[in-house]
Amino acid sequence: MIDAQEMERKRIAADLHDSVGQMLSLSKLHMSEISEVIAADLPSEKDTAENAMRLIDEACQEVRNISHNLMPGALIKLGLVPAVRELIRKAGHSKTIRFNFSSDLDEKRLDEKVEISLYRIVQEIISNILKHANASEVTITIKNAEENSIQLNISDNGNGFDTAILDSVTGIGWKNIYSRLAMMNGKMNIQSQLNSGTSITIRIFL
């Protein structure tokens, strides 16, 4: 199910970038030419032309954002580590929060399904931290581990929570994390206490 969802995300992202994105770029080019004519012959309509150009620019940016959220280009082209760095860079702008990231994978590429699943897991956990943890610092490490495995650690100094609630979790985000781990034969350990932060360790066997 998740594999099919990711394939569809990848297809839609490519279609948005290659088809809709190109059409908007051509529209912008034509509108630019029209704007020059309007500025010369109909100066009273100059503001209208400029507003149209601005709307096309905003539409182009929105298509890029949607395409990136569906399937980040850095993940497909460069791999997990650069994509996570980009994700952290963007997340760091949204709140007053410090991210620390390290990895010993360097430019090592993993199986595409593993890279996508680990990226989605990091994305979901960061989203939860930003929404609920009230943390000021987050540390993320991705490293090679024993028995041909990859270990992901994410810890924060936020509110923490009672891990017993995970037994009855209903949120789609956590369900997707568990589904991805089951698909990859992965393991997750969560340590958290109220007002003492949270530490999540995930191990994926390659």
Q: What is the pLDDT of residues 117-145, one digit of tens each?
A: 999 899 999 989 998 899 999 999 999 99
**Conformational region of residue 170, where left means phi above 0, alpha means psi within -120 to 50, and beta covers everything else:** alpha
**Tokens encoding 186:** 């992965």
Which residues make Cβ contacts (< 8 Å) with residue 108, sequence separation at least 6?
79
Q: What is the mean pLDDT of the chain?
A: 84
What are residue 205's DSSP bridge partners? 149
Instruction: Give the global pTM.
Output: 0.71
Q: Of the spans 56-70, 82-96, 134-148, which averages the highest pLDDT?
A: 134-148
Note the pLDDT of residue 66.
74
Neighbours of 201 (CB within 10 A): 15
CB-count burial class (<10 Å; 0-12, 13-18, 19+) for 134: middle
Note the pLDDT of residue 22.
74
- Runs of H (alpha helix) within the chain: 2-15, 21-41, 46-70, 73-77, 80-94, 112-128, 172-183
Worst-scoring range by mean pLDDT, 33-47, 121-135, 190-204? 33-47
- Is there a contact between 106 and 49 (Cβ–Cβ < 8 Å)? no
Cα 148 from Cα 4, distance rounded (Å): 26
Mean pLDDT of the region 56-66? 77
Chain position carrying tokens 């999540």: 200
Note the pLDDT of residue 55.
85
Note the pLDDT of residue 16.
64
